Structure 1
Amino acid sequence: MSERKRIALLIDCDNVSHNSIEGVLEELAKYGMVNVRHAHGDWNNSSLSGWINRLHPNAIRPMQQFAYTKGKNATDSAMIIDAMDLLYSGSIDAFALMTSDSDFTPLVLRILESGLPVYGFGEKKTPQPFVDACSPFIFTENLAQEEKEKTDNTSTKKAKKSKAELRRDNALVKLLRTAVEQSSEDDGWAHMSHVGHYISNNSSFSSINYGYRKLGDLIRASELFDIEMRNDGSVMYIKDARK
């Protein structure tokens, strides 16, 4: 059994809501152990009061950064320095950045150059360059809503994209079909895990952004592919339905 990744989660509290932190940690648990949890911000600022209430329950360490100069984002600089220190320490296998600020795009590219994955989490206002640099990138609004559903039975479930909506998303259809084609064997059938691996290595895609917890569920809903369950139903294979 391979060792679980050691993940460093760095949070830009100035640019992302505290409402999704539990959902972010739950999502990261799929990839490994989040043994570093740093929340950057000026904790004297009343706007971070919501974050303060989430630190202790989630074992997150607050990293104080005073705003020495008005108009300058000292939090960004401190977070970048923190990330580089962790990178050079050699004690981290992956990074997770929780921010909606595109200024961190060069940091993501630098981490990727060192061979470490970067999982991105930010609000839907996040600029596309930062979204594209991460793999995957998940919108925190989706995770926040899921968290609310667990504690509020009266809330309506987050709407999943319908078959028609999925098929109208040309970029999504192209990504899925390319992934299956590149991962398929000579008979045209592709192992689901190989498809997922191709997608994670070549895009910022996450099925959660479409309302589906698993890629397989999204693929079923799209009805773009034939599906076979093999090995007593434990392994999913898919094939382009056009072929």
Structure 2
Amino acid sequence: MENERHIAVFMDYDNLAVDPQLVSDFLQEKGRVVLRRAFGDAMRDARIRQGMVESGTVFIDRPRFGLPDHQGNDICLTIEVMEVLATRPNITTVVLITSDSDYTPLLVKIREYGKEAFIIGRRGTSGSLVRLADRFIVYEELARQERLPAESPVESARFLLQRAEKAIVEKGSSLHIQNIEQVMLRLDPSFDYKALGYATFGSFMKSIKGPDERGEENGPSAETVSWDGSWENAIHILRKALDILAEERKEPYIALLSTTMKRVAPGFDHQRLSTKKFSEFLQGVMERASDFEMINDEFDFKRETIWGRVLRHNNLRPMPEYREGILKAFLDYYHENQDSVNLSLKDAAINLAKSISIAKRPVNEIMMAIKFSGLLVPISGEGYVTFGIPFRITDEAGLSEAVAKVYLRRMLRARPARSSDFPLISTMLYGEGTRVALLQKLLAALIQEQEVEFVNNQYVSTNKN
């Protein structure tokens, strides 16, 4: 998955003894854990080494020999972290497992290198650690989370699937079938759909998910569908065929749609539904389902249905009813605090959610769009802006347009747009009262930046990721 976190974990075991496997399972949902180090006195607990080995953690033994001084851990851990920061540019996130405030300067240094900094600590952890961390996780809460019992291998796989989908959604990525398989294997490398009796991962997904979850949520599958002769089954096959044509970026011409339905269900025959012509079958579909339309020689989802699916399946919420108000409040907060060396998106999000009485979710989503607007730079002048990095804005006047462009860019990555879609897309971006001219301005900027191109009368993203 693009932009996947690469996580390095450093544990001060003498300060906070944790279950390394529990921590590892939790962090695997946030990204790929590529390095694990723990520092402590193995004589404290003979079971330490076994737990560390099972979780893939390298344990660096520092015996105390009865001495009270534990600063050796601090020094060794700090040296290891600094070496990683200097030599491992692929690391995006550093996790410190400690409640010791002595690590505060190290946390500052991690952020100066442009890395995310997570802290896993006990309740009552030093306030300086909590404030400086991009995310603080209370270990007692983590340890109390119940794990679902695995009643059978299939139920265990179902639970693993749920964890993978949750991790993908939290990251803001699309629930494509390839992403799901990749994250499931990362969470549990022993997962094997073939051992459960499935020939392909697609057939595993089709079987393990309920009827309402299949097909649409994960994009078109390479698996064929059986044809049972019912209208309900025919409409399901038709939806999958339209998804395949959209993924292949082909126009849904009626003749092409007919052959694509046979790709999905080789046994499909519309005449079994008492429709002599394929066009009669399509008319029957529109009588039974309201989200389709036929224009000249094309048959497709209605445009509002198409773009509604794009937003829903890609976890996009432009929120025009909130966006401008949140952006104004954000700029006001920025003006009031721009002299502070600790001004971060995390601080802004927390304060805005309180000051303008809006739920955290829309505020956080707008903050995410601001982060990717390209108009924020770290105060240090190095690296890139994360939620915990102090920043400054390079173009306040252009922020609203840049945020709208972030949403448009992501929409076009999911689906090409036609000129006829402009009124609908502009309403989604800006609210009631179409603003096609503003949309055209954004498209012109994306074309100039070579992120969008005009091909076959469609605006197509050049970024296929």
- For this structure pair, what is the TM-score category when the shorter chain's length is used for normalisation? 0.5 to 0.7
Distance change in 2, residues 1:5/1:63 (3 Å): same
Question: Larger relative CO (CA 8 A, sep 6+): 1 or 2?
Answer: 1
In structure 2, the partner of 1:119 is: 118
Question: CA 1:174 to 1:29, structure 2 compared with 1: closer, same or farther past 3 Å?
Answer: same
SS at match of 1:141: helix
CA distance in 1 between counterparts of 2:36 and 2:111 reads 20
- Where does residue 102 of structure 1 map in the other structure? 101
What is the CA distance between 1:31 and its match in structure 2? 3.0
Give 3-state SS (helix, strand or coil) of 1:70's partner. Answer: coil
The reply on whether 1:52 has 2:49 as its aligned counterpart is: yes
- Paired letter, 1:193: E
Who is 1:135 aligned against?
134
User: Deviations along 1:173-221, whole A, 9 cap, x unmatched?
Assistant: 856345987x99xxxxx47633578898259xxxxxxxxxxxxxxxxxx
RMSD value, Cα: 3.6
3-state secondary structure, aligned to 1:10? strand
**What is the DSSP-based 3-state SS (H/G/I as helix, E as strand, rest coil) of the residue aligned with 1:31?**
coil
Q: 1:122 Cα shift?
A: 0.6
Give the distance between the partners of 2:27 and 2:354, measured in 1 at CA. 27
Judging by fraction of residues, say which structure has more strand: 1
AA in 1 matched with 2:74: D
**Match among 78, 83, 88 for residue 81 of structure 2:** 83
- Whose helix proportion is higher, 1 or 2? 2
SS in 2 for 1:201: coil
**Matched-pair identity in %:** 24
Q: Distance in 1 between matches of 2:128 and 2:52?
A: 29
Matching residue of 1:15: 15
Query: What secondary structure is seen at the aligned counterpart in 2 of 1:49?
Result: coil
TM-score, normalised relative to structure 2? 0.33
| TM-score normalized by the length of structure 1 | 0.61
Pick one of 176, 179, 182 that aligns with 2:353. Answer: 176
Runs of 4+ in 1 over 6 A off after TM superposition: 196-200
Report the counterpart of residue 70 of structure 1 in structure 2.
67
Q: Which runs of 5+ in 1 are unaligned?
A: 153-171, 185-189, 204-243
Q: For residues 83 and 60 of structure 2, what CA distance do their matches in structure 1 show?
A: 14
Query: Does the residue aligned with 1:120 lie in a helix, a strand or coil?
Result: strand
CA–CA distance in 1 between the matches of 2:23 and 2:57? 13
How far apart, in 2, do the equivalents of 1:124 and 1:24 lie?
16
- Taking a change above 3 Å as real, the CA distance of residues 62 and 141 of structure 1, as seen in their structure-2 partners, is same
Aligned to 2:247: none
Classify 1:151/1:86 alpha carbon distance in 2 versus 1 (closer, same or farther; 3 Å): same
1:119 and 1:134 in contact (8 A); partners too: yes
**Which consecutive unaligned segments of at least 5 residues does structure 2 have?**
151-348, 372-385, 390-465
Q: Number of aligned pairs?
A: 177
Q: Secondary structure at the match of 2:46?
A: helix
Separation in structure 2 between the aligned mates of residue 132 and residue 106 of structure 1, nearest angstrom = 13
Partner of 1:39: 38
- Whole-angstrom distance in 2 between the partners of 1:142 and 1:81: 30
Q: How far is 1:57 from its partner?
A: 1.7
Change (3 A) 1:176 1:90: same
Aligned to 2:177: none
Structure 2 residue aligned with 1:160: none
Corresponding residue of 1:193:
365
